[in-house]
Amino acid sequence: MSAYGKDSTSAGDGASNDATYGYLPGSWQRYKRVQDTTVEYYIYDGPNVLASCDSDKNLTARFVTPGLDDNLSVTRGANTYYYMADGLGSIRNILESDEDTANIYDYYAFGDALGTQTQGVTNCYRYTASTPPLDSLMATSPEPSGSSGSEREKR
């Protein structure tokens, strides 16, 4: 168990885009993502990620998420990217400001990647607008003590 609570979980297919996530104690909220030598920390407002910063506390991204898993955009540096979701809320494309496609995702019925996914921009949201480790933890782990159900179940 890490100093912050839950053990870290990993996501990826063994390629260079593998990431490891750490979670806050007694919560499903991840507090950091480690990919290669890059560490990204998340700042929350309730269940929504507002921003992320690097290990030197420099702002790396700002997220616009008006509701739980209702991601609209992310701004990284001077660039803003827009999430395109399907009816389930899964992120299918990420568009640049000039409407060029930066990322493409496709899924089988229960969230496994279908075909090759293109990722030109760092993105932590995928199937049902969640990260892969978070989806698998919620499907297999009991609720934290004192919890009456996850935020996803309450929508």
Q: Backbone phi, then psi, for 136, in 5-degree steps?
A: -70, -35
Residue 43, domain member (yes or no): yes
Distance CA 151, CA 131 (A): 15
Residue segments in the chain with a per-residue pLDDT below the cut of 70:
1-17, 26-28, 30, 130-155
pLDDT of res. 28: 64
In 65-123, beta strands by DSSP E: 73-76, 79-85, 91-96, 101-104, 118-119
Residue 77, domain member (yes or no): yes
Q: Backbone phi, then psi, for 137, in 5-degree steps?
A: -65, -40
Residue 34, domain member (yes or no): yes
Domain of 85 in residue numbering reads as 9-142
**Structural domain count of the chain:** 1
Residue 30, domain member (yes or no): yes
Residue 128, domain member (yes or no): yes
Residue 154, domain member (yes or no): no
Sheet holding 79-85, edge to edge: 9-11, 19-23, 30-35, 38-45, 48-53, 59-64, 73-76, 79-85, 91-96, 101-104, 118-119
pLDDT of res. 121: 86
